Amino acid sequence: MTGVPGYEKAKIQYDPIWLLKSIKGIYIRYDANIKKSIALSSALESILSFRQKNRSNDDYYKEFIALVDVYEQYDGTFGHLSAYEDDIKCLVANGSVTEAQARKKVRERVLASSFLERADTQTYGIRKRDLTNYSLGIDKHPENMAG
């Protein structure tokens, strides 16, 4: 554990959340012996190639979130929030949320879309297709993971 980024700070603060995320990272084979850019790339690839297959919905959700946690632990920003700067500015301009809340909201939207995209197509294909019909201007994707 001592070689994992953030160890010294977590040790001083007795941070159990850091410990759990680090254990996940090691379990998924990302450690300090790998160059950060390679670890980030591999972690992102793990998310992008991850599919539900025959997992239960609960197991699929837990494993998906674990992969995202590992990626973000290595300072990855899930959802390339810079690509959503206009969305973030628009939410803030409406005055209902702070910039931090807007970033969180956009991240949740991207997570939900990514999660649904990787859901089993054989089981959920029709439901996935019904969420979006861009030619008719229909977008029913959820705004967050709970949606």
CB 89 within 8 A of CB 99: no
pLDDT value of residue 35: 66
Does the CA dihedral 45-47-51-55 come out positive or negative? positive
Q: How many percent of the chain have pLDDT more than 90?
A: 15
Q: pLDDT band for position 29 (50/70/90)?
A: low
Tokens of residue 86, six digits: 């206009």
Per-residue model confidence as pLDDT tens digits over 36-64: 667 777 888 889 899 999 999 999 999 99
pLDDT value of residue 34: 64
